[in-house]
Structure 1
């Protein structure tokens, strides 16, 4: 076991001491804090640089002369800071100002013979959607008041016209969660799916590249004279895996601190969206389990494939099938974020290479019977042992193979060389 721990320590420390590790970790931590405080940063920049007052001002061409004041009052009711101002210029002049970008937009309103508001919002902004929608909603409220006054309806009578029905959705499926629980679970599952996906790809590729680098530099010949190829493979898998766990823990701590320090009293903000108060402990436990199993599954496969190439340039080509598997798993799981009860997700969650993401999606968003995730975990564990046994046979001969790689055709040659 001494040789095993020496290789394990070398695999861990060689990557942990690399500048790329520190730079990557620092960038990711900075990105986490930046995202958590994004709204504060935007507000600070606007305070320092000063906002353009024309962005919060709407010029209105009101032929009736009665709608400008009502529109301003209605916008204030809904909490909008938009300032409505009666335009002194003609519509053609305002059109020229919009075209020359002197102003962002203007509104033309009038009332026809049927006492119906006619409005035209003119702008140069291709993505200007929210502002027209707010103005339209405000004008619709004014229209309702005008029609109610025309029909001699009181305010209470108008309210009764818009009384919502009592509608309740009852799901009798044994695996269903409430809509609130489903929305909370969806956010957590989405974030953790990305963590599992990128971690498995990154660290598995790191293992394959590390094995290929040692082979191309002929260091492998010295290593296997002191330690068996099997011990070398699993020590490298565990060493880089441990480094990955440390890095993810750092990201988790940084994320927790960032969300706590950026918490505001404004409801509905980022802190509420990623609130940790309602997180299901079992979901986090399953995330850790499926991350570890997914890592060992793909890392063993990556070490196997990395042992077949003699040049680092061939690594990406060799591990392409493995990369396509994890990409397919993520795409299948992503389709279930809207409806986790889709039929094919159940079958995909028992396929070992899809299970880390697909079964985690199902167990995070549905109330599944215990035997389903346990069966998926058992299948993955069995696959890891089988892949480890087969991978050890390939690795034993693969690390001694040199020359151009012929992709997966080298598997048979590696097994035969390992027997010798």
Structure 2
């Protein structure tokens, strides 16, 4: 049979490292294998944890048996959910005095935080046309892909100081000061920076906001861990709220995810918020209209079940209180596992400094391990983490911390 040449011009692309690593972990039959790759919460037994508040909400929804539960919503998404998502992000409490501030925010529902990042990048590429988007070095790998597909040139600002395993604030500020141009977008992690776990302090956030305002840069916040990182919705949204409240003449946007803080990983529940300056609130509805144009051509509307769970939780004082308690449970376990790993490495007198493990914040730790050491951990000990040395602390438990620490100690001593 004669072969017909394809019209496609395609070449292989590298597989997604996180999902490939997770697949290798599941295929591994070693009894002591440990997954420190994928960013999902696990209990101390290594099991998924449907949040108790979510389970109660699901039970109530099942009992209500709403006949509309599988119907279409609006293109912009579930409107009551969007108001709840906005209020969680920006701290609104329903006071009449907040109406002017709310008028600055154009909100639409998205396919989780990834979809919010993608929609925001696409919207800016079409309607603001930034010369560049500045991403932290390092950043979540998917940020690079999202902005590449949006067609916006990507540049990076220093973020991680390898020698001290600390946040490179001076490097970030100097690069943005000297090289960023008016109208450039700057991607900022609202809290629990992925992958380093290092966040600016409040004084540094104030300086970053001042620089963005003075240089007329466009802040693009990715908020994936609100409430999950510290256990406090307010603390984890501090940077976003500071920019919003104290820079009313500066426009910005926020990609918001409920994957981590409500454990709705597979429900793909998120929102995108575009914030106008205080003199441009008249175009808010036009912004929503244009966002809907992009949504309609791509996925029509956001998924319904996850946002319905969020609404059910936030419409009940009891379930809301339960959810806040769930946030404390998750954030506290992550912090305790950081301390446990640090203490074990200190006990073993593992060469180097490990204070950064307890100084970092959120789900991930940028361990400082080299790619060779990471490969040795996988090959010899069946401990899986990204080649950058990023470890998901959620994969640690009281049972496996001694084993993981001993493995790290061995590769640090013997693998250069």
TM superposition score category, shorter chain reference = under 0.3
Greater Rg by CA = 1
TM-score, normalization by structure 1: 0.22
Q: Which has the higher contact order (CA 8 A, sep 6+)?
A: 2
Normalized per residue, which structure has more strand? Answer: 2
TM-score, normalization by structure 2: 0.22
